[in-house]
Amino acid sequence: MQPHIAIIVKGYPRLSETFIAQEIHALEKRGLNLCVISLRRRTDHTTHPIHAAIRAPVLYLPEYLYQQPWRVFRAWLKLRRSVGYAAARSAWLQDLRKDRTFNRVRRFGQALVLAAELAEGCKHLYAHFLHTPGSVARYASVMTGIPWSCSAHAKDIWTTPDWEKKQKLKDCSWLVTCTAENVHHLQAFTAEPDKVSLVYHGLDFDRFDEPVMRSEIGAKNKQARPLCILSVGRVVQKKGYDDLLQALAYLSKDIEWRFVHIGAGPLSGRLKQKALSLGIAAKIDWRGAQPYDCVLRAYREADIFVLPCRVADDGDRDGLPNVLLEAQSQKLPCVSTSISGIPELVIDGETGLLVAQKDPQALARAMQQLLTQPTLRQRLGQAGFERVRQYFSVAGGIDSIVRRLPAVCVSR
């Protein structure tokens, strides 16, 4: 059966974007016919089990136009005389005057190929991320007359210039985003605030077994093994791992701990050097990117979870990191920072602990509080688990998205 909805993503499949794969899988389970349009080839060597469960075909657009010039040229030949092409070219040239970059040129070329190669019968374009995928979806929508919508998240919101947010919100049918803070920010750029809605990513609890009971770490167990501090996240500035390493160095010397990190990114080398200079490298296990079964095992083996998110120098920041949802789904008590949408999940002192961003000493105090108080760990872990289960199921978000799609896309 021909796909009715094209989901446009920056790269597929990606270990760091399980929330997208989870949404695609949930939409398929509702009976929707989908295809995935990826602007980049896969770079991860492994995938999560959920990727294998997704049936949607994948169309890879030219990652760089010079690599497949004939493909771009054929698309141009097919579309150049259409009314839609002329309108899209005009819109693109207006954007190019404000953003004279090769990336802006690439977006238009990728949109050309998408419009030319889109499966017949496609009724809707749905982009994950407002920046590059949103641009490709917008230009392709103008070329084809197919409406487009968007799911906006974090960096794509906060690093997109205001003029571009206004234009995209004017042109798209609707937009969903994953935090209340994002909603309020984006609604300021449109005369139609109802276009922007809150949809938490949520978790598909069918993918999780009941979490294991966490044993109390008393004096006997403290002698048996160090307490395990876990973090999962890309090694980029907005995750705050510089602050976390400094906080680890501040921990009391009478606490036996080890730190496990899962994730990869451009700052890995720098962080490992910092750990050496702080004298804590021997206590750190850098595991790199891992498939989900390994991540789930790590959640269950850890004693606390820490994610010290911060606003990066370029304005980039997290929305509501899915790893916090996942950790709490396993009754793992969490320490994070009070930025973006994190307080919508982690209520300080009730379902976890929050500190100010860029404050390693406060972060160390919060970690030490959890590491030395097993009863508090158990209480916050249980409360976090109950909050995630009550308010952050993927089912509610999928219901909201399905209601917004054209009726022809959801009829079976």
pLDDT higher than threshold 60 for residue 222:
no
Identify the pLDDT of residue 308: 98
pLDDT mean over 362-368: 98
Model confidence pLDDT, tens digit, residues 244-261: 999 999 999 999 999 999
pLDDT grade for 292, boundaries at 50, 70 and 90: confident
CATH annotation of 5-204+393-410: 3.40.50.2000
The CATH number, out of the four listed (3.90.1070.10, 2.60.40.420, 3.40.50.2000, 3.90.79.10), of the domain defined by the range 208-391:
3.40.50.2000
**Of all helices (H) and strands (E), which one includes residue 296?**
helix 292-301
CA distance 25 to 146: 23
| Contacts of the segment 96-100: beta carbons below 8 A, 24+ positions apart | 98/161, 98/163, 98/164, 99/161, 99/164
Q: Do domains 5-204+393-410 and 208-391 have the same CATH topology?
A: yes
Model confidence pLDDT, tens digit, residues 50-69: 899 999 999 999 999 999 99
- The alpha carbons of the chain give a radius of gyration, in whole angstroms, of 23
pLDDT higher than threshold 90 for residue 128:
yes
Residue with tokens 């019968």: 121
pLDDT higher than threshold 80 for residue 220:
no
Q: Find out whether 325 and 246 touch, Cβ atoms under 8 Å.
A: no
All structural domains of the chain with their residue ranges: 5-204+393-410, 208-391
pLDDT mean over 97-115: 97
pLDDT grade for 224, boundaries at 50, 70 and 90: low
Distances (CA, A) of 134 to 145, 210, 391: 15, 37, 28
Identify the pLDDT of residue 211: 78
Q: Which of 175-184, 221-230, 291-300, 394-403 is the least confident region? A: 221-230
